[in-house]
Structure 1
């Protein structure tokens, strides 16, 4: 009879690699690597996850991935960090070796150690693409001076936890000797992992449910669905993490409804950790505590159990505490920490969204960031990620702290707002100047959005804006042409939609109410046709650039006036703007014929 972990590995692999025929050992390689990656990283993309498996290419290494400041990268996409000049602080090179057989000896881990030494010594027979990856991070870390690099080696077997404990005792000397040798090059930690640990991660990822019991004496019920109180930090961290001897990983499912991901080694998070280390018994005096949503609770004799918990406020606090908790020597310190706590019972999505937004609005978080948790923007995120134009996906980074995705057009709400201000809102001058100080006024209209049809319009407008920006950056950096991105976007939006009622909104920042689904479909189809044809798109932009030569938007004027002309309303820099667009539209049509 098959074990549970064999069945779970097959179930998972059939979803990740539906077209591939895999052996049982390959399934366990993929399964183990993926489970470790999903729980060590804050956010996981399936395409990156696929590339963490090395497909039997290297003896001694079945899986390899990189964790950079809590984000997951593979050998296929880590270069994006260097291309975009991203600064990083903590880099973990994670190697995975697996064994499905019952008979395992230390030669299995010695293979890995020997390969790793060959990589670090840059031997000719080492896996070059892994060596290049490590060398690239090493070179960059020396430039940045404050970045730390380390290796984590995960040896996974289908043995029970008691068997793993025996292996640790038997292999202790071998591991210590090799870690000391490799430690001359880079910090390394070896983890021996059994099937139970991997299985727990999988089952938690699948159900997403975490429960916690809190002593009744620690709680005061304000109503039947809300209570306040306190909790010991150690008991909470033990509840929301997976532990296997010296290995601890945080269950990121509990942050699913949190607006922000863990922001890493920031000054605020450093202060949290410093407070724990120096004033652990008084931590509750200096920290606001956390807010938890739960689906239901049950009263017992001495405690209350809260089910399906989600931490909606306090991600930075919990993650900072966890960084200390990972070091076993600090458990006594964490045990002294008391966390103020609010628990709210809610299952309705709108109610959860409202609670999360309200809880975070009292912290240092901008209005545009709070919007990201609204259901419309979750729908928008999904729409962006599943649509493709010119073989390009727009990756909308809805949550704070998300990393760019290689091979995609990466945008956040600020870029989307600039695109909207340069089109629907009809205020490109506001996107050019005073953007930060006036954006909140325009965000008010986004709070009212609930039509799914607007997703496709916002999507295509964002694509248009990014397309315009990229083209102008490529041709006009020296002569300031790239500064016209907002105005060029608006002119294209106007001329493409000639014949559609484009009356300016009555109130600043409003989306016209008379735009029904049919109107939106017309706009979408016209804009999609344009951006899908790069030759036609470039011809249109060049025609626009030529047409504005005799207006105040001419590049020479922008340079002379120190760009302030861009901050004036469009009808002041191009008199009779509607007529200008109509003529320009006709010129473009005539040019085609």
Structure 2
């Protein structure tokens, strides 16, 4: 392993607070994270995707992406269908990582065989628990075939520390794998990507560096001075330049630039279908028929007509962008697209632009939740903690993602915050595996302006500390699926009196008691070991995740305490 890859891997392990002695395991986690992050840039826990641990079909990691979300349970599919009525975009990502310095065409073929067996109706290879769980999710997705608007895409990343030189045998084996998988007739495309040391280094830099893209923007006017805005332009741009803004390293659409656009791509609905037809048949009029896109960037510089956008988000135009990307090979006669380009770091201005541009289409309350004032206060409250107690509330997606000085495991997304507070203080750990928007609707009064901020921090910090114990094998990994139940049980076990209301001053004193215990490794380990005995008492099959999804388990566990 070259020194740069080793250095990057060490930096990654530190950012994830991972203590692992086995070099191969460390590389599997690092390489898998880097590959998956190219297509899913939200913070995620490597433990949720890395499955290589014997009987793994020659696969080190699996990520299932549906409608832009990383799926870890069947229930999330149900929630997406309830909200979107369709499964508009499905990607399966498989990773095999080798510390060897060469590409072995035999291993590359074995990897492909394992992926094919994973999708088989009659699998021949032995499967570990993680593989079985992923397979059940995939089977459930295909059982919803009437809601799938486009066949999934399958990505295979074969990663080594060597140099990729387009060896004929390796290329041939990759083509055979792609052909075998396409013959299953369940994919619209199969992409096999060989990743050597140079590309792996680039992948990792992509996870920590801000996005920066240069485009040609000649047809523009500079808008007058606007409070809160450094500079802004109105004009139109050709499709070739625009595709640079939205296309990633491997030619895929760059999902990370749409996180501040509150609506994900809605697939081939009537509006998008009509847009596609217009784009293919009458592209010269597209500039007149389309409302255009709005791009906000932290830094905007130009030399003549060449503009460099740094750390940018497309806050309105997700549907247009996907339609252009999906039809890029059919665009003729130089399509032009209306565009607003804005440089600002003023949060209030950004929020107003997002609300204004997205209120033109129907959006749900949970899609605009990040703009609520409570989250701004919560972000500031998190910032009052220092040292080992420091966490970072990610009010706006990826705001802490760039740079290596922040441990990624200390970043708390809105989704994680909702799941933690719902589990600890609202007794809903059985719903934590669901899409956060569904969970949000089940809780009255969450994120109320009158609430104390400390309970929100407390449940997130306790979850962070639980994950630390699981990650470093201080408590058995089989109980990780019950982590949200453990949050609830900690609350009841430590309560001396009636559980205070979220807006009560007494809640702060109670939270301080929980934090004192959670901050101490020994005390937290003893507490978890005590509580897992209760889980053993009420769960028949501790290896199955099904019991974690029932309200019955919640009520059974609560009977162990005098409910206060």
The answer on 1:360 being equivalent to 2:358 is yes
Deviations 1:317-347 (A, max 9, x none): 223333344xxxx1x6278332111112211
The answer on 1:11 being equivalent to 2:11 is yes
- SS of alignment partner, residue 100 of structure 2: coil
Match for 2:288 among 282, 285, 290? 285
The answer on 1:314 being equivalent to 2:309 is no
**Normalization by structure 2: what TM-score?**
0.63
Deviations 1:166-206 (A, max 9, x none): 23x54333333343333332434322233444433432331
Please say if residues 395 and 405 of structure 1, whose CA atoms lie closer than 8 Å, have aligned partners that are also in contact.
no
Q: Structure 2 stretches of 5 or more lacking a match?
A: 226-230, 379-394, 396-411, 460-497, 514-561
Please say if residues 294 and 345 of structure 1, whose CA atoms lie closer than 8 Å, have aligned partners that are also in contact.
yes
User: In the alignment, which residue of structure 1 is the partner of 2:32?
Assistant: 33
- SS of alignment partner, residue 175 of structure 1: helix
The answer on 1:54 being equivalent to 2:57 is no
Q: Partners in 2 of 1:116 and 1:177 — Cα distance?
A: 13
User: In the alignment, which residue of structure 2 is the partner of 1:66?
Assistant: 64
The aligned runs of 1:538-549 (5 Å cut-off) are none
Q: Partners in 1 of 2:264 and 2:295 — Cα distance?
A: 16
| CA pair 59-227 structure 1, distance change in 2 beyond 3 A | same
User: In the alignment, which residue of structure 2 is the partner of 1:174?
Assistant: 173
Q: Partners in 1 of 2:436 and 2:338 — Cα distance?
A: 41
User: In the alignment, which residue of structure 1 is the partner of 2:73?
Assistant: 78
Match for 1:234 among 231, 234, 240? 240
Match for 2:374 among 371, 376, 383? 376
User: In the alignment, which residue of structure 2 is the partner of 1:521?
Assistant: 505
Please say if residues 41 and 72 of structure 1, whose CA atoms lie closer than 8 Å, have aligned partners that are also in contact.
yes
Aligned CA RMSD, in angstroms, stands at 4.3
- SS of alignment partner, residue 336 of structure 1: coil
- SS of alignment partner, residue 295 of structure 1: strand
1:154 Cα deviation from its structure 2 partner: 1.5
Pairs aligned (count): 425
Q: Partners in 1 of 2:288 and 2:239 — Cα distance?
A: 14
Q: Partners in 2 of 1:10 and 1:60 — Cα distance?
A: 25
Please say if residues 292 and 338 of structure 2, whose CA atoms lie closer than 8 Å, have aligned partners that are also in contact.
yes
Please say if residues 227 and 343 of structure 1, whose CA atoms lie closer than 8 Å, have aligned partners that are also in contact.
yes
Please say if residues 57 and 127 of structure 2, whose CA atoms lie closer than 8 Å, have aligned partners that are also in contact.
no
Please say if residues 259 and 373 of structure 1, whose CA atoms lie closer than 8 Å, have aligned partners that are also in contact.
no
1:228 Cα deviation from its structure 2 partner: 0.6
The aligned runs of 1:183-582 (5 Å cut-off) are 183-185=182-184, 186-187=186-187, 188-215=190-217, 217-223=218-224, 225-243=231-249, 247-325=250-328, 330=329, 333=331, 336-365=334-363, 369-370=367-368, 372-377=370-375, 385-386=416-417, 388=420, 392=424, 406=433, 411=438, 414-415=441-442, 418-419=444-445, 453=452, 520-522=504-506
| CA pair 334-305 structure 1, distance change in 2 beyond 3 A | farther
The aligned runs of 1:119-198 (5 Å cut-off) are 119=118, 120=120, 122-127=122-127, 130=131, 133-134=134-135, 137-138=138-139, 141-142=142-143, 144-147=145-148, 148-160=151-163, 163-164=164-165, 166-167=166-167, 169-185=168-184, 186-187=186-187, 188-198=190-200
- Segment drifting more, 185-194 vs 386-395: 386-395
- Segment drifting more, 270-279 vs 340-349: 270-279
| CA pair 266-524 structure 1, distance change in 2 beyond 3 A | farther
| CA pair 82-239 structure 1, distance change in 2 beyond 3 A | closer
Q: Which fold has the larger relative contact order, with Cα–Cα distance below 8 Å and residues 6 or more apart in sequence? A: 2
| CA pair 317-412 structure 1, distance change in 2 beyond 3 A | farther
1:99 Cα deviation from its structure 2 partner: 2.9
Q: Partners in 2 of 1:306 and 1:395 — Cα distance?
A: 45
Q: Partners in 1 of 2:303 and 2:153 — Cα distance?
A: 45
Please say if residues 13 and 19 of structure 2, whose CA atoms lie closer than 8 Å, have aligned partners that are also in contact.
no
User: In the alignment, which residue of structure 1 is the partner of 2:383?
Assistant: none
| CA pair 125-257 structure 1, distance change in 2 beyond 3 A | closer
Deviations 1:329-373 (A, max 9, x none): x1x627833211111221122222222223323343467754542
Please say if residues 100 and 158 of structure 1, whose CA atoms lie closer than 8 Å, have aligned partners that are also in contact.
yes
1:262 Cα deviation from its structure 2 partner: 3.5
Please say if residues 93 and 151 of structure 1, whose CA atoms lie closer than 8 Å, have aligned partners that are also in contact.
yes
Please say if residues 61 and 94 of structure 2, whose CA atoms lie closer than 8 Å, have aligned partners that are also in contact.
yes
| CA pair 523-392 structure 1, distance change in 2 beyond 3 A | closer
- SS of alignment partner, residue 331 of structure 2: helix
Rg comparison, structure with higher value: 1
Q: Partners in 2 of 1:6 and 1:523 — Cα distance?
A: 46
